[in-house]
Amino acid sequence: MLAASLAVSVVAVGCSGKGGPNPQAGGPGGMPVKVVEARAVPVNDASEYVATLKSRDSAVIMPQVEGQITQIFVHSGERVEAGGPMIEIDPLKQQATVKSQESARAAQEAQLSLAKKQYDRAQGLAAAGVVSKQDLDQAKSAMDAAQAQLDALDATVNEQQVQLHYYKVVALRSGIVGDVPVHVGDRVTTTTVLTTIDQPGSLEAYVYVPIEHSAQLKMNLPVQVIDSDGKVLADSRISFISPQVDSTTQTVLVKARIANGNDALRQSQFIRARVVWGTHKNPQVPILAVSRLGGQYFAFVAEPQNGGAFVARQKPLTIGQTVGNDYEVQGGITIGDKVIISGTQFLVDGVPVIPMS
């Protein structure tokens, strides 16, 4: 406002001075100004949300047995191959259980061997008519029972051996070891997180869209991951739309796959995700050409007059998005207008100007 007042004072002094040039006269009395032509540029109709990145190739490692950690074979950040040992839980008690079951199985094998011999002997005696058919059936039943008991012990031994295998935690896939929050001597349960294994590569953005926009959601809508300066880090498209609404936040979960070829993004990172609903065309003007007074945006336009002269006209603007170094103009300027971008602090409405491209 002060600049505008000073400009009015300068014009008034110029008008009152004897022999001074009349600024309202066109032609040589105009002020040279640089102008740019307002052009229609495609602008995205988009909304930005805070999203979370999750790995499509990440595994959380948890033990399948309880016990005390005796060894840790890996460190955070190391690469581990599938089947490689990671953590050992004290196996002594389980080893004793396996040994006890194996001994019981060996004893049962001896019982079965004896039962078979008794049955074979009973068969020979029954054929000679020395023992009855009932005695033969009893020998057969004893042999079958011994066999069934051995089969049960075999299953028990196998189960305990499998259980023993769980006391050494191995990597089920190759990848990078994450944080290892446990230490040797810690007691762990089947709900304890030992570490994670991540494979570098694709991520998935979890975007929570307010229910007000749920009607606009559709598959393959463009999604852009942007940084704090608005620079696009990755482009993607919606690949999943949840059929349910989160009852707590009243949002709809959508997912978009992120290639992340240069590993610039990380698992569990919070990001800004821009969902592009569509595009439209509006004029754009440089930010430096726009002033703001009392909450209202203004810009000067070189308006043609009769005889080929131009005067500066101050136009109130309706501003939309910021696109790079330009404002999207939703109202106040039309396509083709000559927007003044220099000397605007010295201009007042109606002052003659000489546009220069």
pLDDT in tens, 156-213: 999 999 999 999 999 988 888 989 999 999 999 999 999 999 877 778 899 999 999 9
Lowest model confidence (mean pLDDT) among 130-144, 186-200, 229-243, 262-276: 262-276
Instruction: Give the Å distances, CA to CA, from 137 to 122, 132, 141, 146, 302.
Output: 9, 9, 6, 14, 117
- The strand order across the sheet containing 85-89 reads 168-170, 85-89, 67-72, 187-188
In this prediction, residue 44 carries a pLDDT of: 78
Predicted confidence band at 266 (pLDDT cuts at 50, 70, 90)?
Answer: confident
Mean pLDDT estimate for the chain: 86
Q: Please choose, from the candidates 122, 118, 123, the residue with its C-alpha nearest in 3D space to the C-alpha of residue 146.
A: 118
Give the residue extent of every domain in the chain. Answer: 2-42+281-356, 47-58+199-279, 59-86+173-198, 92-166
What is the structure's pLDDT at 357? 77
Confidence of residue 89 (pLDDT cuts 50, 70, 90): very high
Q: Which whole number is the average pLDDT over 81-105?
A: 94
- pLDDT at 86 (0 to 100): 95
In whole angstroms, give the CA distance from residue 89 to residue 80: 19
Asked whether residue 105 carries a pLDDT value surpassing 80, the answer given is yes
The topology under which CATH files domain 92-166 is Helix Hairpins (1.10.287)
Q: Residue 55: what pLDDT?
A: 81
Reduce the secondary structure of the chain to three states and give it as a string: CHHHHHHHHHHHHHHHCCCCCCCCCCHHHCEEEEEEECEEEEEEEEEEEEEEEEECCEEEECCCCCEEEEEECCCCCCEECCCCEEEEECCHHHHHHHHHHHHHHHHHHHHHHHHHHHHHHHHHHHHHCCCCHHHHHHHHHHHHHHHHHHHHHHHHHHHHHHHHHCCEEECCCCEEECCCCCCCCCEECCCCCCEEEECCCCEEEEEEEEHHHHHHCCCCCEEEEECCCCCEEEEEEEEEEEEEECCCCCEEEEEEEECCCCCCCCCCCEEEEEEEEEEEEEEEEEHHHEEEECCEEEEEEEEECHHHCEEEEEEEEEEEEEECCEEEEEECCCCCCEEECCCHHHCCCCCEEEEEC
Report the alpha-carbon distance of residue 297 to residue 291 in Å, rounded.
6
| CATH code assigned to 2-42+281-356 | 2.40.420.20
CA distance 327 to 94: 71
What contacts 68, CB < 8 A, 6 or more positions away?
89, 90, 185, 186, 187, 188
pLDDT range class, residue 1, cuts 50, 70, 90: very low
**Domain spanning 47-58+199-279: which CATH class is it, in words?**
mainly beta
What is the pLDDT, as a whole number, of residue 252? 94
pLDDT of residue 284: 86
How confident is the model at residue 16, as a pLDDT?
40
| Best CATH choice for the domain 59-86+173-198 from the list 2.40.50.100, 3.40.50.2300, 1.20.200.10, 3.30.420.40 | 2.40.50.100
For residue 116, which amino acid is it?
K
**Does residue 155 surpass a pLDDT of 70?**
yes
The fraction of the chain above a pLDDT of 90, given in percent, is 49
**How large a percentage of the chain has pLDDT more than 70?**
91
Residue 99 above 70 pLDDT? yes
Distance between CA 305 and CA 102 in Å, rounded? 106
Q: Which residue has the higher pLDDT, 14 or 349?
A: 349
pLDDT surpasses 90 at 324: no
**pLDDT per residue over 297-321, tens digit each?**
999 999 998 888 899 999 999 988 7
pLDDT the model gives residue 262:
64
Mean pLDDT of 84-111: 94
- Reported for 230-234, long-range contacts at CB under 8 A and 24+ positions apart, including other chains, are 230/322, 233/264, 233/265, 233/271, 234/258, 234/259, 234/260, 234/264, 234/265
Give pLDDT, residue 9. 42
The tens digit of pLDDT for each residue in 10-54 reads 333 344 443 333 444 344 568 899 999 888 888 778 888 989 988
Distance CA 13, CA 20 (A): 9
| Residue-level pLDDT at 17 | 40
Mean pLDDT value across residues 227-249? 89
Residue-level pLDDT at 21: 39
Interval 69-80: pLDDT, tens? 999 999 998 999
